[in-house]
Each structure stands twice: as C-alpha cells, then as structure tokens.
A and B are shown apart, each in its own frame.
Chain A
Amino acid sequence: MKLYDYILSPSCYKVRLLASLIGAKLDLQSVDFHPGQEHKGDALLTLNPAGAIPILEDGAFVLTESSAMLAYLAATTAPEWEGRETPDMSAKVQQWLAFSHRLTASLGGARLVEMLHGNGDLDALQGAGIAALRELEAALFEQRLAGQSFLVGEQPTIADIACFPYVALAPDGSITLDPYPSIRLWMRAIRSLPGFIEMPGIHRLHDLVPDPQSSKEDH
C-alpha cells in the first residue's frame, strides 16, 4: 500500500499511526504540500480531484478520505480496530468518524491560519474547535465513569485514531487543552499504546529514567 504523505499533515499521520499500531506496511511517497502545493498539481489532481492528501493506493484501489483509509487498514489487517462487536459500537464508531471532520475543519483550520499562513476567520475557527472539544470532553468523561479509556469501549478503535491528531495539535492553533482532563487522559492512553509513533507537535511519552522511587528501593 502506498500513502501520499506529508509529515506535518494530521490526516496523513492518522493513517501512518494506525498502520504502525497494527503492524501494516505502508510505502510513503512524500508530497510537497508546503511550500510546493504539489497536491494541487496535475498528477495528484488526477488521483484526487479534491486536491487534498492523504491518498492511499492499494494496486488499482484508491482512497482519498482518511476515515475510509482507517476503515480499510483495520478491515484488511486488524478487524478488532473496527469496533463492530455490537450494533451500538458500530454506530458510535461511525458517529465519531463523522465528528472527526468537525475537528479537521475547526482545529485544523485554526492551526493552518496560526502556523502556515492559511486563510480563515481565526475567531470563528477557534470557537467551533472549542465547542467540539467540549463535546468530546463530555463524552470521554462518561466513558471514564463507565470504566472505559477509549471513545467506543475498553479497547482503541479507528474512532480514536480519527479524532486524536487534530485534538492533540489544538495548541498549534492557539487553543489550550488545559481545561479538558478527560481528553488529556485519553491522549495519554493513546500515546501509551504499543507501536505508537509521533509527529511534529505530538511528542512521545518519555520514560522517567531513572525512576526515583525504584532507585530508592534498590539501595
């Protein structure tokens, strides 16, 4: 499978992250999104008339929506990430995949304005982003009360991966995550998963080495 990729794109990162978490192999093709605008060039417009990345190619099979790519990777490699155990779970996964587009438009829009000279009404984008974060915080709080760390159950699904990157990068658009403890715990749970990879702006969990407690016990 070949991913047309940009290192700073949270949507491309969703696909790279899931592939790493489930051990799927991706060939990465770097696209000069900024400053080159290669995604608006003829070659890539032929693949994706919307002029956007990521684009995923598996032989002649081409996908241009990141949520569809997550669904495809999970279905072909790790069906447990689809979250289809019950009708409720299936529907909730779809609900969050659709919700993730609001995060892209709002938090992602604010990030482009603040970081890469994008156009847009920053106040409106930030307002919409904060409204989405509050909704996510409330849902994750309910999940925690039910003893579940992730959006749709005790195990992570593609819904978590679809929502995680733009949320984690909200500070790039000058939106603080300080007011959302449930979101921060959820992000920590995702960053703790075996196979987690980072992207610029999303740091890995650093081991506290040496652990001061354990060294006390040793000596």
Chain B
Amino acid sequence: MTDTAMKDAWYPVGLCSDLSADGRKTRLMGEPITVKTGPVGAPEVLNADNEPLPVIIRFGHVWTSLGAPQTDLFTIPEADQPSRKLVDVGVVRVKCSPLRAVENFLDIAHFPFVHTDILGAEPHTEVEDYKVEIRDEEDEVWATKVKFFQPQAAKSAEGGITTEYMYRVPAPTCSVLYKTCPPRPGEWDVICLFVQPLTEDLCDVWPWMALYDEDNTMTELIHFQQMIFLQDRSILENQIPTRLPLDPGMEMPTRADMTSVAYRRWLKRHNYTYGAQLVAK
C-alpha cells in the first residue's frame, strides 16, 4: 500500500453552507462517505460503516481524513483579515487525477491559450524567471516572484496589468495562489483550489477565494472563477497519461514548469502517490 501517506492528509468534502441532516453521499479516495449535519448541529462525516471520521471546519468547507492526520490542516492568515469577501465558488467534477488538477493550477504558461484575453493574451506568452523552493520547515512548495501580463487579471481589474503571483502547495491536493490585488496595492488576493480525490482519476474541485473587492457582487465573483475553471476542465480531461508521472522521462518540462517539477518532487518525497504514476511501476 503506497498511498498510506495521502490517507493521513486532510481533504475538502463539502461546503459548510450546503449541509443537511439527511446528508450527502460522496466518496473520498474510493471510500463511500456521508457528509451531514450531526445530531447537535455540528458537521459530521461518516464512513461506510457509519463511523465518524475526523472533521475540521475551515475556509467555508468541511474537511476530513480517512487516516489519522498527524498535523493540523494548514492555515491562510491573510484570509482572516477583516473586510475580505469570502467566496464559496461551489464544486465542479473533473475526470482527471486530483494531482493533475493541482498541477494545472500551478501553471502560468497556459494562460494566453486557455484563458485567452482574460488571464493572458498572445503575443504576451513569455513566463519570466521566478523562484521555486520546497520549504522544509513548513513542508510546503512555494513559487514566488512570478510575473505575468494579463488583460483582465481579476474581476476588479480594468485593462491589462502585469500581475505578480505567489503559489503555495500546503497539502497534496490543495494549492493557494496569492496575486496582486488591483484595488489594494500591497495586499494579496487569495485564490484557492481545494481538490477532493474521489478516485485516482476523478475528482471534485472546490475553488475558494478571499478577496478585497467592493465593486462586484458575490455572484459576479463566483461566475468569474467558475468561468476560469471551466476553461481548464476540458483541457484537464484530455491530459495523457491520466495519472501524474512523478519520475522524469514521461514528459519534458521547460523552465516555465519549475513549480510543477518541485510539486512532483515533493509528492514523490512524501510518497503522495494517489493519482500518480511511477515509471518503475
């Protein structure tokens, strides 16, 4: 059993705003689970034998684990700043490896081609050098000093700007993106991709955001993020091989893919292989 390590991680399994006493049946890493409001009103997650699984409520979502998590779920201090809009984007099912969904989120080079005239535009396709590191103390992957020209970087952006990004992978199927906040220079908008692995090649993706934006309605912010993610979905469902290759040789990375390379290396180091493939297999 090689995926024990991932069994102990935390995963999003539902929105806190969408819980019922009847419960919603879903899956986590192949195991049937039920997400519901328990007898005393607190969210509850039950496994197939109706036994309770550990639960954390954070970032508007219910989180659980099939194993025995050794660490707390990561935090995002910026998201706790007052007057940010916390946006539950909802859920989108994607027929792809949960790790592929995260890796795509970490990629900048596809913006001009998949999110044309929104997050990128030809001929501004160059990804400038940026810094990638695996931070040992936090045990997270970070990419910083990422800069990219964007025609409409956020719902609140008017006209093209060069946007600065930081990417962070604090858990095997979660990524947090910090990006220039057009209405508040000096602050970062926070955009997260939380991925629930249903199987090794099927996942439910729960995007979530904590933004400074006084001009747009919640609905407009939700639609913007859903539009972006749905543009990715058809690409993700056609990636080959379906499982993310962790060993070199299957795919040829370029300099722009340094974050992806670090993510794969970090996954392999921890034996986070649910949704991955190793050449040696």
Contacts and interface: CB of A to CB of B under 8 A. Distances in A.
B144 interface: no
A201 interface: yes
B154 interface: no
B90 interface: yes
B122 A201 contact: no
Interface string B1-41: 00000000000000101100000000000000000000000
Most buried by B among A8, A35, A203, A204: A35
A172 interface: yes
A204 B121 CA distance: 13
A65 interface: no
B95 interface: yes
Given A114-B93, A116-B92, A30 B230 contact: no
B222 to A, nearest CB: 6
Contacts, number: 65
10 contacts: A6-B223, A8-B227, A34-B90, A36-B222, A38-B219, A114-B95, A115-B92, A115-B93, A116-B90, A209-B122
A201 B115 CA distance: 11
B71 interface: no
Interface string A114-128: 111100000000000
Interface string A161-177: 00000000001101000
Contacts of B234: 171-172, 201, 203
Given A36-B222, A200-B233, 18 more contacts: A7-B223, A31-B219, A32-B222, A34-B226, A35-B15, A35-B89, A36-B219, A114-B93, A115-B93, A116-B90, A117-B204, A172-B233, A198-B116, A200-B226, A200-B228, A204-B116, A206-B116, A209-B122
Contact of B217 (A6, A30, A115, A174): A30
Contacts of B116: 198, 204, 206
Contacts of A206: 113, 116
Interface string B89-109: 111110100000000000000
B227 A7 contact: yes
B44 interface: no
B261 interface: no
Given A172-B234, A200-B226, A35 B90 contact: yes
A36 B93 CA distance: 17
Contacts of B91: 35, 116-117
> Interface residues of B toward A: which range?
20 to 34
B219 A117 contact: no
Contacts of B229: 200
B226 A7 contact: yes
A29 B227 CA distance: 15
A201 B222 contact: no
A116 B233 contact: no
Interface string B205-237: 000000000000111101100111111011001
